[in-house]
Amino acid sequence: MIDIHCHILPGLDDGPETLEESLALCRAAAADGIRTIVATPHYKPGAYEWSGPEVLKTLSLLNTAVAAEGLDLQILPGAEVAVFPELPSVLEAGGPLMLNQGIYFLVEFRPHAIPANSEAFLASFLDSGLIPVIAHPERNAWFANHPEVLFPLVRRGVLLQITAASLTGGLGPQARDFSGYLLRHNLAHVIASDGHNLDDRPVALSKAVALAADLVGEERAVTMVTTVPEAILAGRRRMVIQPLEHALPEEVRPPSLFQRFVRGIFR
């Protein structure tokens, strides 16, 4: 499995503080079946700012320690960027704020509100060839109260990442219920851990994938931690996935050949 959202690097944000703490998270990830992690330290002006070389140096130290332990795990560079007015001027394809230094970036909104012009703001990145992946929209109270804004964004090509602990109930009933809503409306593309520590924000995906499989079927659930994140890391542009105006029923029906084609093809 691939985890595209994880605070695994030591000393850069509110994730682990030491290399040993990072290694403990890596052991837990490997034991859960994760083979690739994108390190996504927060990038938020005034709170968390770091340079590209600083991230690459820390990443190299951690990858060396992981290899020395014999763990079957690779860590790639990335970031979780906050929304701020200058974001368009600091994002560049291949730059340190992009997932695996490619064309996708993980963007986080504040938990209870999104800026008034966010739809146009996100669409402007698509126009310039950069693809936003919204981090855990299921944890955002504004999105939960206005899910209709997500449909046009997904139709335009914005991707949504839901957090494993939301599905398992670890982040409360609203996050659990809204992540189910997103899955059943074909609005969620990736499941990631958003791991920070061993206690309340672990680096694990397998339980969440099993729960997602109950809602959308195993085949589709597995793509959310394999082929979809793989395409993101490779910088492949994804076909726009059509959201479903009417949710899948609670009892999962196997997808038709046409649905599988529409959901799964990359170009």
Contact residues toward Fe ion (CB under 5 A) are 80, 194
Neighbour-count burial for 178-208, b at 16+ CB within 10 Å, e otherwise:
bbbbbbbbbbbbbbbbbbbbeeebbbbbeeb
CB of 49 to Fe ion, least distance (A): 16
If the CB atoms of residues 3 and 32 are measured against Fe ion, the closer one turns out to be: 3
What angle in degrees, to the nearest 10, is found between the helix axes of 52-68 and 19-32?
A: 60
If the CB atoms of residues 138 and 241 are measured against Fe ion, the closer one turns out to be: 138
If the CB atoms of residues 80 and 138 are measured against Fe ion, the closer one turns out to be: 80
If the CB atoms of residues 107 and 231 are measured against Fe ion, the closer one turns out to be: 107
| Residue 94 token pair | 């291949």
CB of 105 to Fe ion, least distance (A): 13
Residue 105: its H or E element: strand 104-108
DSSP code, position 149? G
CB of 135 to Fe ion, least distance (A): 6
Query: Residue 176 carries which side chain, given as an amino acid letter?
Result: R
**Which strands make up the sheet holding 36-39, listed edge to edge?**
2-6, 36-39, 74-77
CA–CA distance, 159 with 225 (Å, rounded to integer): 14
If the CB atoms of residues 107 and 248 are measured against Fe ion, the closer one turns out to be: 107
Residue with tokens 């957090």: 163
| Residue 11 token pair | 């000393």
In the chain, what is the straight-line distance between the N-terminal and C-terminal CA atoms, in Å?
21
143 burial level (CB within 10 Å; 0-12, 13-18, 19+): buried
Residue 64: its H or E element: helix 52-68
If the CB atoms of residues 16 and 243 are measured against Fe ion, the closer one turns out to be: 16
CB of 39 to Fe ion, least distance (A): 11
Nearest residue to the partner Fe ion, using Cβ: 194
CB of 203 to Fe ion, least distance (A): 12
CB of 3 to Fe ion, least distance (A): 11
If the CB atoms of residues 14 and 69 are measured against Fe ion, the closer one turns out to be: 14
CB of 42 to Fe ion, least distance (A): 7
